[in-house]
Structure 1
Amino acid sequence: MSYLTTPRDLTRAPTGAAPLGVGVPGFAHPLLAPTEWAELLRCSRSAGPRGAAPLHWAVLNVSNGPGARPDPHCMPAVARLRETGAAVLGHLDTGRGTRPFGELISDAHRFLEWYRVDGFWLDRCPTDRTLLPAIRRVATCLRTLREHTYLVFGHGSHPCPGYAEAADQLVTFAGSWADYRFSQVAEWTADHPPERFCHLVHGVPRTHLDEALRIARWQGAGTVYFTDRRSAGAAEAAGDAWESLPGYWDAFVSHTGMGVSE
């Protein structure tokens, strides 16, 4: 497609660019992943060379949403993380635009009442222009529920440009390293700063972590999550790949805290 381009030189990055940050699309339940949640706290408390913590946000997904009742293990885990200043986003599954408006807003209310989330992750967000008005309506309502609501649209690929007007951040890539290393970026994204875009990549070998970070910077992403874990299911249902720490977590976090010229 004409609006897609591929970076030609991954050895040269723009100088003075801001360091990348980490976005966690959803660790497993705190009982099943205590180490992961502890690392979120450590990551959020640590400041990089420019004074900013590398953790931008983390998604809370209790049971494909907030669950039927407050979870006694998630509540304190989220409270401790938010005390560090990290943003916690409630997981709302849009079903590629098929989920009823009322269900999404009801789930959002429960996330706010039980966990006091800072915003929402709209998972499986559609990308086509015809469904933009419906997603825009959801986003407008979510922003009325609390001040400074942060919204991340989990498209997984480049949507039509209009979605950028409704979200704080768009996930324009979510998939495997095999696809990411040859991925292309939509030209219209150059009209927006890097903090508007996020890339999520699974199956990244440790030996290719630096290359993955260079690709993210060249393609204009400000938030990333790279892991060597692999998805056992389809590309769209890659949640299992994000549930545990990558084997190179410390290296990943330390590298995202660096600007490209450092």
Structure 2
Amino acid sequence: MTGGHHPDGRLLVPLYVHPAVDPAAWQAVAAADPKRVAAVVLNLADGPGEPDHVFTEAAEKLRKAGLPLLGYADTDYGRRPHAAVVNDILTYRQRHGISGVYLDQVSAVPGALPHYRRLATAARAAGCATVVFGHGDHPDPGYAEVGLADLLVTFEGDWAAYQALALPLWTGRHAAARFCHLVYGVPAERAGEAAALIAARRAGVGCAVPGAGENPWSTLPHQLTAGRPLPEPI
């Protein structure tokens, strides 16, 4: 996912269910075509959590299947101390050999840019080839500057909200591969429509899941359950 050479229309999988709870979900992800998967996000406990051999073994199977792994780290909109976030990254690197980091709850305001610039720099110094900023909506355009994040999650929400989304003009100045849209609460019969909409909105990476409630990301993406790849962006 670095260097801008990866194909668009790929899947980001937030795999937020423990492999002991839903082993079939992990097996389905491990069986996915690595060329179609931008990355899988590991999240044990809103971070790396305590050492867990079941989780470690399942993550290793994903890595051996050729899937890039990102470690989930909560930044609490800039309130979480720099050192705590970096410690999460280093823990993931040590335990799971992650190739990147998914920084979640990233602030959208320009005043927090220096904080996130330092975090991105620290992540790369720790060996992360890929840095994802999980804003959940469109941030200040400064977050798209070169050298910060490889991927910006500019939408995370339910299907109804996604259908009403309006894109700010500044997004048109960047490649589709820089943007990711994560949509939950998508009924199976609307999965194709959701994938087409993600592509039409120039999000080169995306995910649509049926789940809702507190943790919709405990359900598998439609693209893995129905064998529907994301169409290429228009």
| TM-score, length basis structure 2 | 0.90
Alpha-carbon separation, structure 1, partners of 2:77 and 2:15: 19
Per-residue CA deviations over 1:161-189 (Å, capped at 9, x if unaligned) read: 11112100000000011100111112111
Find the residue that maps to 1:81 and give its secondary structure.
helix
Alpha-carbon separation, structure 2, partners of 1:167 and 1:194: 14
One-letter code aligned to 2:229: H
| 8 Å contact from structure 2 (residues 30, 65) kept in 1 | yes
Per-residue CA deviations over 1:218-245 (Å, capped at 9, x if unaligned) read: 211011110121124xxxxxxx101122
One-letter code aligned to 1:245: L
Q: Once the 2 structures are TM-superposed, how far is the Cα of residue 246 of structure 1 from its aligned partner? A: 4.9
The aligned counterpart of 1:20 is 9
Q: Does 1:39 align with 2:28?
A: yes
Find the residue that maps to 1:122 and give its secondary structure.
strand
Q: Alignment length, in residue pairs?
A: 226
Gaps of 5+ in 1: 1-17, 46-52, 233-239
| TM-score, length basis structure 1 | 0.81
Larger RCO (alpha carbons 8 Å, 6+ apart): 1
Q: Once the 2 structures are TM-superposed, how far is the Cα of residue 73 of structure 1 from its aligned partner? A: 1.0
Alpha-carbon separation, structure 2, partners of 1:247 and 1:40: 12
4+ residue runs over 6 A deviation: none
Q: Which of 199, 214, 218 is residue 243 of structure 1 equivalent to? A: 218
One-letter code aligned to 2:33: S
Alpha-carbon separation, structure 1, partners of 2:13 and 2:232: 20
The aligned counterpart of 2:228 is 254
| 8 Å contact from structure 1 (residues 229, 246) kept in 2 | no
Q: Once the 2 structures are TM-superposed, how far is the Cα of residue 249 of structure 1 from its aligned partner? A: 3.8
Q: Once the 2 structures are TM-superposed, how far is the Cα of residue 111 of structure 1 from its aligned partner? A: 0.8
The aligned counterpart of 2:3 is none
Alpha-carbon separation, structure 2, partners of 1:38 and 1:26: 11
Q: Which of 45, 62, 68 is residue 87 of structure 1 equivalent to? A: 68
| 8 Å contact from structure 2 (residues 222, 228) kept in 1 | no
Alpha-carbon separation, structure 2, partners of 1:44 and 1:248: 11
Q: Which of 143, 166, 171 is residue 184 of structure 1 equivalent to? A: 166
Larger radius of gyration: 1
1:246/1:170 CA distance change after superposition, 3 Å: closer
Q: Does 1:153 align with 2:133?
A: yes
Q: Which of 182, 185, 210 is residue 203 of structure 1 equivalent to? A: 185
The root-mean-square deviation of aligned C-alpha atoms, in Å, is 1.7
| 8 Å contact from structure 1 (residues 27, 37) kept in 2 | no
1:88/1:248 CA distance change after superposition, 3 Å: closer
